[in-house]
A and B are shown apart, each in its own frame.
Chain A
Amino acid sequence: MDLALAPETLARWQFGITTVYHFLFVPLTISLAALVAGLETAWVRTGKEKYLKATKFWGKLFLINIAMGVVTGIVQEFQFGMNWSDYSRFVGDVFGAPLAFEALIAFFFESTFIGLWIFGWDKLPKKIHCACIWMVSIGTMLSAYFILAANSWMQHPVGYKLNKATGRAELTDFWHVLTQDTTLVVVFHTLTAAFLTGGAFMVGVAAIHLRRKKHIPVMRTSLRLGLVTLVIGGLLTAVSGDSLGKVMFKQQPMKMAAAEALWDGQNSAPFSIFAVGDVAKGHNDVEISVPGILSFLADNNFSSYVPGINDVNKSEQEKFGPGDYRPNIPVTFWGFRWMIGFGMTSFAIGLAGLWLTRKKFMLAPAMRTGEDEVPNLVLFKSRALGTRLTKWYWFAAVWTLGFPLIANSWGWIFTEMGRQPWVVYGVLRTKDAVSPSVSQGEVLTSMIVFTLLYAVLAVVEVKLLVKYVKAGPPELTEADLNPPTKIGGDDRDPDRPMAFSY
C-alpha cells in the first residue's frame, strides 16, 4: 500500500492533528484556572471591585477555552482503542491505569466544580464559590500529571514486565510509573510551560487594552500578574527543560542527537543553531554551531562525549535487529528549535516588560503612575522609553500571546516524533501499534471529519474570544457585589432571574 496513505500513516496524522489541537487549549486551561482562582481569592480577601471584574473577564475567556479543551479531550481517550488497538492490547495493563485514574480523580473534579462555578454565582457564598475554582485548578493539574505519567512510560518504560505467554506488557510497580524521573521532570516542564502560556496570554490581552487606554485599572493589574506569571513560568520552563534534556540524553540518546542533528558522536559536542543536513548521507552540509554547549546541556560538562545519530542507530541495530532507528531528523531538529525559540522569546518579552512597567523599584517619583493610568515604560531610573520603542514594546507584548502556543505544539511534535520509530521506546514499534481491523477508508474518513470539524470550531472559538476580549471586563451588578450568604441561594425573590443561564 502506498506509504503516504497507509493506515499507520493516516492514524499518525490523525493522532498528531487531534493532539496538537487539543494541546492548544490545555496549557491555557491549566494556567488560567489558577490565575482566575488567584484573582477571585484577591477579591474575596480585599473586596476590591477590580479583582472581581478581572475574575469575571478572565473567567469568561477561560470558559470559552476550557469548553474546547474538554470536548477535544474525549477524542483522545477514545482513539487509543479506535486507531491503536494493538497498542491498547499491548500496554493496557500499564497505560490504562493512569488514564482511569485521570478520569476518576481529575475529570470528575474539573467538570463538577466548573459547573458549580459557572452557575454558582447566586447560589454559593463567595468563599465556597472561590473554593470551587480552586478545585477546578487542582483537577486540571492532576489531569496533566496522570496523562503525563502515561506518556512518560511511552518515553521510558519502567515498572513492568513482558508476559511471554500473552505477549503483553504487565504492570509490576505502579508507584515507579508515577514517580520515575521522566514523569516528574515532564510534569514540571509541562506545568511551568502552561504558566508561561497563560502569563503570555494575559500580557497580550492586557496590552491590547492598555495600548488603547481602555479598562485601565483591571488591565494594569492583569498586565502585572501576567508578566510575573510569564517570567516565573518562563524561567522554570527553562530550568525544567534543561533537566528534561539531561534525562532524555540518558534515556533516549537518539532523540537528543536528532534534536541537534549531531550525526557522529564527539567530545565537546556543539549546540547547532542552524543546519542543513543530508539524511541519506548522514551528515550536515551546512552548519552554524556553538561548541561544547550540547555536551553541557546533556551532561552538565562542556567536554562530555555525546553519541551521534549514526552511533545510536548502529547500537540500536545491534540490539533490536536490522532497521532504521532514526526519527525524522529535520522535524526533530527544527521542532526543538521552534520550541525553545518561541518559548524563550515570550519569556524575554515578559522579562523586559516586568522591568519596564515596575511600580517603584529604581523609579523616579515623576515616572510613577496611578491605578488608572497606563504604566510608563521606564528604562532607567528617570528615563522612559522613546515613543517609537514604547510603541514597539506594546506591539511585541500583544504578539507574545501566540508564541507559547507555537512553542508548546512544537514541543510535543518534537518529543513524539523524536521517539519514532517507537511508540513505546525500545519495546513496541509504532507500525505494530495500529488497529488491524480498521480500514484505510475508515481512518481517512475520521481524519477528514476531525480536521474539518476542528477547523470550523477553531474559527468559532477564536471569533468568540476576540469578541469577549474586545468587550473588556463587564460592569458589576448589585447581585455581583452581594453574593448569597447561604448555599442554594437566598430566598429573597423566587422569580429573580438566574445570575448565569445558558
Chain B
Amino acid sequence: MELHDVWFVLIAVLWIGYFFLEGFDFGIGILTKLLARDRTEKRVLINTIGPVWDGNEVWLLTAGGATFAAFPEWYATLFSGFYLPLLIILVCLIVRGVAFEYRAKRPEEKWQRNWEQAIFWTSLIPAFLWGVAFANIVRGVKIDAHMEYVGTFWDLLNPYAILGGLVTLFLFTFHGAVFASLKTLGDIRERSRALALKLGLATAVLALGFLIWTQASRGDTKSLVAMAVAVLALVGAVVAIKVGREGWSFALSGITIAAAVAMLFLTLFPNVMPSSLNDAWNLTVTNASSSPYTLKIMTWCAGVATPIVMLYQGWTYWVFRKRIGTKNIADAH
C-alpha cells in the first residue's frame, strides 16, 4: 500500500468521523422542529449537542485541509466544481454556528425563535447537500482533460444524487433521534425513541435503494461487504431502538454511517473523482496526489495527532455524559 492509498483511506476516515459526529448534531437540529413540543424541549435538544457540535464540525475542516494537502487536484476540482452547493453549505454552517452561540444571548422570544428557525434549516440543508455531493462524486461528473469541472449546477441534481441526499438527510435525522433518546430524560426520551423507529424504517427503505443502485452500477466484492455491514447495522439499530437499547442503537446507527461512507469510497478507488466524459480524465489517487515527501509528513502528523484528538474529544463526551431533561433547563432565558 503506497502513501497515497493510505491517504485515500485517511480521507475516508475523516469523512466518516465528520458524518458520524455532525450527523447526529444535524439530526438534533432537524428534530428541534419534528420532536420538540415546546421551547423548553427545544432547548433540551439543543443542549444535548451544545458542548460538542463545534468540535464535531472540525472534522469537516480537517477533511478539507487534508484533501488540500494530500490530493490538491481533488480539492481544487471538487471545490471549484461544486461551487454553488458549497456556497450554500458554507452559508448554512456560518448561520448555524452563530445561531447556537447567540440564541440564548437575548431573552426576547422573537430573537430566540428566529435562531431556532435558523438551526432547523441550516441543519437540514447541509444534511441533504452532503449526500448530493457524495453521490455525484461516486457517480462521476463532467470533468475535462484539464481536471476542470465543465458541468453546471443543475447537472448535480440528478435522480441518483437526490436519492443520495435523501439518504443522508434521513440517516442523519435517525442517528440524531437515537442520540436524543440516549441523552435526554422523561417524555421527550420516549418520543424520540418512537420517532427514531419511524425514521429508521424510512431510512432503511431509502438507503437500501441507494446502496443497491450504487452496488449494481459500480460495486465489487469489497463494496458488497461494506454494503452488507451498513444494511445489517441499520436493521440492528432499528431493532435495538424498538427494544429500548439506546446505546446499542446509537453504536449501530454510527456503524451504518461508517460502512455506507466506506462503501462509497470503495466504489471510488482508485479514482477520487471520476469523469463522466472520459475514463482517461478521471482524477485518481496517483494523478491527484501530493508528492511522497508531503504525504510522509502528513502521515506522521495524522498518525500522532488523530489518536490524541479522539482521546480528548471522547473525554468531552464523558464529562457531559449525564442525560438532560426539561428540569435541567433554567427559566431565565
Contact = CB atoms under 8 A, between A and B. Distances in A.
Given A96-B68, A502-B47, A488 B321 contact: yes
Contacts of B86: 78, 82
A29 interface: no
Interface string B55-76: 1011011101110111111011
B155 to A, nearest CB: 12
B51 A115 contact: yes
A435 B79 CA distance: 10
A487 B328 contact: no
B29 to A, nearest CB: 12
B217 interface: no
Interface in B127-158: 146-150
A446 interface: yes
B319 interface: yes
B27 to A, nearest CB: 17
Given A77-B64, A82-B79, A96-B69, A64 B294 contact: no
A103 B298 CA distance: 12
B90 A74 contact: yes
Interface in A324-346: none
Contacts of A501: 43, 47, 50, 104, 328-330, 333
A172 interface: yes
A91 B294 CA distance: 12
Contact of A502 (B46, B81, B328): B46
Main secondary structure of the interface of B (DSSP, over half): helix
Contacts of A309: none
Given A488-B318, A502-B47, A82 B298 contact: no
4 nearest CB pairs, A to B: A92-B72, A81-B79, A96-B69, A67-B101
A71 B80 contact: no
Contacts of A88: 68, 72, 75-76, 79
Contact of B65 (A63, A100, A460): A100
Contacts of A104: 62, 65-66, 301-302, 305-306, 309
A468 to B, nearest CB: 8
B65 A102 contact: yes
Contacts of A488: 318-319, 321-322
Contact of B80 (A123, A438, A495): A438
B90 A78 contact: yes
B50 A78 contact: no
27 contacts: A67-B98, A80-B68, A82-B79, A82-B80, A86-B76, A93-B72, A99-B65, A100-B68, A103-B62, A104-B306, A104-B309, A111-B58, A112-B316, A118-B50, A124-B319, A170-B290, A170-B294, A171-B297, A174-B294, A174-B297, A464-B105, A464-B106, A488-B319, A495-B327, A502-B43, A502-B46, A502-B50
A92, A120, A436 interface centre (most CB from chain B within 10 Å): A92
B97 A70 contact: yes
B72 A71 contact: no
Interface residues of A, number: 76
Given A96-B69, A99-B65, A174-B297, A112 B302 contact: no
Nearest to A68: B98
B91 interface: yes
Interface in A69-126: 70-72, 74-75, 77-78, 80-83, 85-86, 88-89, 91-97, 99-105, 107-108, 111-116, 118-120, 123-124
A147 B310 CA distance: 23
Interface string B26-57: 00000000000000000100110011111101
Contact of B51 (A81, A86, A116): A116
A177 to B, nearest CB: 10
Interface of A: 63-64, 67-68, 70-72, 74-75, 77-78, 80-83, 85-86, 88-89, 91-97, 99-105, 107-108, 111-116, 118-120, 123-124, 163, 168, 170-172, 174, 435-438, 442, 445-446, 449, 453, 457, 460, 464, 467-468, 487-489, 494-498, 501-502
A446 B87 contact: yes
Contact of B328 (A89, A435, A496): A496
B78, B80, B90 interface centre (most CB from chain A within 10 Å): B80
B301 A100 contact: yes
B101 A442 contact: no
Given A100-B69, A108-B55, A460 B80 contact: no
B19 interface: no
Nearest to B62: A103
A457 B148 CA distance: 34
A100 B76 contact: no
A433 B150 CA distance: 18
B76 A85 contact: yes
Contacts of A457: 94, 98
A384 B146 CA distance: 73
Contact of A170 (B97, B291, B309): B291
Contacts of B298: 97, 100
Contacts of A83: 80
A99 B294 CA distance: 12
A497 B47 CA distance: 12
A22 to B, nearest CB: 11
Contacts of A94: 294
A96 B54 CA distance: 22
B325 to A, nearest CB: 7
Contacts of B71: 92
Nearest to B103: A502
A115, A119, A171, A494 interface centre (most CB from chain B within 10 Å): A115
Contact of B62 (A100, A112, A124): A100
A437 B57 CA distance: 28
A289 B260 CA distance: 68
Given A99-B68, A437-B149, 18 more contacts: A81-B76, A88-B72, A93-B69, A96-B75, A104-B62, A104-B305, A108-B313, A112-B312, A115-B50, A123-B319, A171-B293, A457-B94, A457-B98, A495-B328, A498-B330, A501-B43, A501-B328, A502-B100
